[in-house]
Amino acid sequence: MPGALSDIRVADFSRMYAGPFCSMILRELGAEVIKVEFRESGDACRTIPPITDGGEGYTFSMLNRGKKSITLELKTEEGQKIARELISKCDVMLENFKPGVMDRLGLGWDDVKKINPGLIYASLSGFGQTGPYAHKPAFDMVAQAMGGLMSVTGFPENPPTKCGPPIADLGGGAYTAIGILAALQHRHSTGVGQHIDISLQDSIWAMTAVESLAAYALTGTPPGRIGNMHPGIVPWNVYQARDGYVVLCILTIGHWQKFGRIIGRPELVEDPDQCAMVLRVGRRAELDGIVAAWVKDRTIAEIVQMMDEAELPCSPVLDTAQVVNDPHMKSREMTVEVEQMISGPLKMPGTVFKMSETPGDPYNPAPFLGEHNGEVYTELLGYSEEKLGELMNKEIV
């Protein structure tokens, strides 16, 4: 079944996590993604552990499923000329170098829009293409720190803490994909391409501000770390049961009244005026202590059953093995096996795009370095076998 983006071709000059996550989304939705890699080493993510028994970077294999890999030496004039030929035949170009790098290679937006006016050119960097920090190097953790996330993550008695997964890279990649889709729709209406400038710091702040900005704007004091609690909802926390941890999220007055009766504390919910959220937040320590005391004497299964029967939000805290084997996640095919040519079958995350006509396709393997040189250079760019051999001998591809 053709994907929603099956008529879109992407020249992907990105590497590591953020850019490849963006192009992975586009590929999963059907786009043809041509990954342009360094000639000798390729994307550095290829060698980041864990490494499969076949010697392939496992994370690389996840982030680059279904893409076509070509090698190209961009530091040579001939390599840059070839890159421009490729870009002229693409709908989208994606890069996540530091600002200025692509300009120095003659592959910046002002250069390539002349040869492909309808091009969607997406730049994804730590701090964006403008501003005083634009040329600072950044990785995910730097963006988490500079975007405010680490200041509100963790417990008050502990140091600022990063989010477990690389949320700046993944969030920035997702925002870039959204920008590309919007730009493609604009081009469909107008025929005009455009430059997209996405910053990891901007992306983290956009997510962090949802709960952090209001508190600062209203009080003048930045919020701090409150662990697993919610700044404006009580009870909302991770609680220790007899055999592990459970999450309880009690939002509405109706939820709170149900919960009070379940834990045998009717006095907490008899007066509806005392059930309002603002009053519960004011009694945070007292109410959270009551909930914690009730949870600690029960098993996870007992708590989840009672909460499910009352239709109250509750869950155990699952680890990776439990998520992979969770019956609901299995029913939604959220862990799949992808057959890698070198490493054999590898477990990968399934697609989140459950779409009736054009569902996402997560089953294509990641390429080995330069796997598609012959296809792209001869079939797409029209080079002869002799020309391709010459480029290989000159160490350009």
Say which residue the tokens 């996540």 belong to. 96
What whole-number distance in Å separates Cα of residue 300 and Cα of residue 376?
Answer: 55
Provide φ and ψ at 294, rounded to 5°: -70, -40
What whole-number distance in Å separates Cα of residue 115 and Cα of residue 99?
Answer: 21
Spatial strand order in the sheet of 9-12: 68-71, 32-37, 9-12, 92-95, 120-125, 194-199
- Residue among 275, 285, 228 at smallest CA distance from 252: 275
Catalytic option among 12, 91, 140, 169:
169
What whole-number distance in Å separates Cα of residue 238 and Cα of residue 314?
Answer: 10
DSSP letter at 4 equals T
Alpha-carbon distances of 133 from 199, 213, 278, rounded to whole Å: 11, 22, 40
Contact between 147 and 204 (Cβ < 8 Å): yes
What whole-number distance in Å separates Cα of residue 287 and Cα of residue 271?
Answer: 15
Both tokens assigned to 305: 């059953």
HSE of 392 in the Cβ direction (CA atoms, 13 Å)?
12
Q: Has 169 been annotated as catalytic?
A: yes
Contact between 198 and 172 (Cβ < 8 Å): yes
What whole-number distance in Å separates Cα of residue 65 and Cα of residue 367?
Answer: 7
Both tokens assigned to 247: 């999450």
Both tokens assigned to 357: 């006509």
Burial 370-379 (b: 16+ CB within 10 A, else e): bbbbeebbee
What whole-number distance in Å separates Cα of residue 349 and Cα of residue 344?
Answer: 16
Active site residues: 169
